Amino acid sequence: MWSKVSASDERLVIEILSAEEFPLWSAMQRADRAHSLKVLRRLMEQRPTTSRAEKCAALLHDVGKSVSKLSTMGRVMATLLGGCTPRMRLYRSHEAIGARMLEGVSEPLTVDLVAGRGPDDSLAALRRADNV
């Protein structure tokens, strides 16, 4: 299903994220960390001139999901059924929550992209890369 995050993957993340951002990425579920690396690689492949802030957004775009502490099945239910419970509502609000987690920690562009806003070209590229 989800691949493990290798030592070389983690070194790449450490090269990109700041010392303040890395613990937030590390606290994400393993599947979310692996997914974020796939998004990062697709983004860099599609846009070779990707900025550091955009790379950080690729790695941290789902950081707000960690707050809900939902299992994979809970996430599927939240996606299909909506915000029936407080934890499902947290999960469905992950973009806004993630942006708040990154305020004062990340560059403004990273915060904006995680929140689902920002320059159209950057946001579109991130969304294309996230479509995995």
Residues in the chain: 132
Q: How many domains does the chain have?
A: 1
The reply to whether 2 falls in a domain is no
Q: Over 80: is that where the pLDDT of 126 sits?
A: yes
Q: Over 90: is that where the pLDDT of 113 sits?
A: yes
Mean pLDDT over residues 92-114, rounded?
91
The reply to whether 25 falls in a domain is yes
User: What pLDDT sits at residue 27?
Assistant: 93
The reply to whether 69 falls in a domain is yes
The reply to whether 70 falls in a domain is yes
Q: 51-79 pLDDT, tens per residue?
A: 999 999 999 998 988 877 767 776 677 67
Stronger pLDDT, 125 or 81, i.e. the higher one = 125
User: What pLDDT sits at residue 88?
Assistant: 72
What Cα–Cα distance (Å) separates residue 18 from each residue in 47, 71, 107?
21, 28, 10
Percentage, residues of the chain above pLDDT 70: 87
> DSSP string spanning 3-59?
PPPPHHHHHHHHHHS-TTTHHHHHTS-HHHHHHHHHHHHHHHHH-TT--HHHHHHHH
Q: Over 70: is that where the pLDDT of 87 sits?
A: no
The reply to whether 23 falls in a domain is yes
The reply to whether 84 falls in a domain is yes
Contact (Cβ atoms closer than 8 angstroms) between residue 59 and residue 107: no
Q: Which range marks the domain in which residue 108 is found?
A: 7-130
Mean pLDDT over residues 104-111, rounded?
97
Q: What is the mean pLDDT of the chain?
A: 88
Residue found under tokens 């419970």? 85
